[in-house]
Amino acid sequence: MSVRILVFAGSLRTGAYSGLTADAAQAALAAEGAEVTRISLADYVLPIMDQDLEAEEGLPRAAIALARQFAGHDGFLIASPEYNGSMPPLLKNAIDWVSRVEGHDPKIKPFDDKVAALCSSSPGKLGGMRGLVHLRAVLNACNVEVIARQCSISRASQAFDADGTLREEADRKAIRLVARRLVDYAAAIAGRREP
Tens digits of pLDDT across the chain (195 residues): 689 999 999 999 988 999 999 999 999 999 999 999 999 999 999 999 999 999 999 999 999 999 999 999 999 999 999 999 999 999 999 999 999 999 999 999 999 999 999 999 999 898 999 999 999 999 999 999 999 999 999 999 999 999 999 999 999 999 999 999 999 999 998 886 654
Q: Which amino acid is at 149?
A: R
**How far, in Å, CA of 75 to CA of 170, rounded?**
25
31: left (phi over 0), alpha (psi -120 to 50) or beta: alpha
Q: What is the pTM of this model?
A: 0.94
CB 41 within 8 A of CB 181: no
- Check residue 86 and report its DSSP letter: B
CB 144 within 8 A of CB 112: no
Q: Which amino acid is at 147?
A: I
**CA atoms 34, 142, 189, 177: torsion sign:** positive
CA 172 to mean position of chain CA atoms: 18
